[in-house]
Amino acid sequence: MTDYRIFETRQFRRDLAKLARGGETGVAQKLRRIVYPALREHPHYGTNIRRLRNWTPPTWRVRIGSWRFFYEIDDTAGIVFMIAASHRSSAY
């Protein structure tokens, strides 16, 4: 299969905007520069990627420092939906 496409939901973009206002611009840059290319190739596994148990629909999270980025995967359409971003203290 070809590479997956990344789609950011409105909620995810709002969460990233909060992150930037909090001075965490480096985290968002690392997400787009390092994590997105990895997710395009293999969204189901990788460094700091975990599938969340007992979540419907199946949801994964990627960790960057103390931030968690949550996403869902549509394998048939080849899309990774970035759905939320949260600090680890309030993520779960």
What's the chain's average pLDDT? 90
Is residue 91 pLDDT above 80, yes or no? no
> What is the SS3 assignment for 54?
coil
12-26 confidence digits (pLDDT tens): 999 998 888 877 778
How many other CB atoms are found less than 10 A from the CB of residue 51? 12
Distance of CA 65 to the CA centre of its chain: 13
CA gap 92, 79 in Å, rounded: 24
Phi, psi of 34 (to 5 degrees): -110, -45
User: What class does CATH assign to 5-87?
Assistant: alpha beta
Could you tell me the pTM of the whole model? 0.89
Tell me what pLDDT residue 92 has.
62
Is residue 1 pLDDT above 60, yes or no? no
CA gap 71, 7 in Å, rounded: 10
Closest CA to 87 of 67, 59, 64: 67
Is residue 6 pLDDT above 80, yes or no? yes
Is residue 52 pLDDT above 90, yes or no? yes
CA gap 57, 30 in Å, rounded: 26
Q: Domain segments of the chain: what residues?
A: 5-87
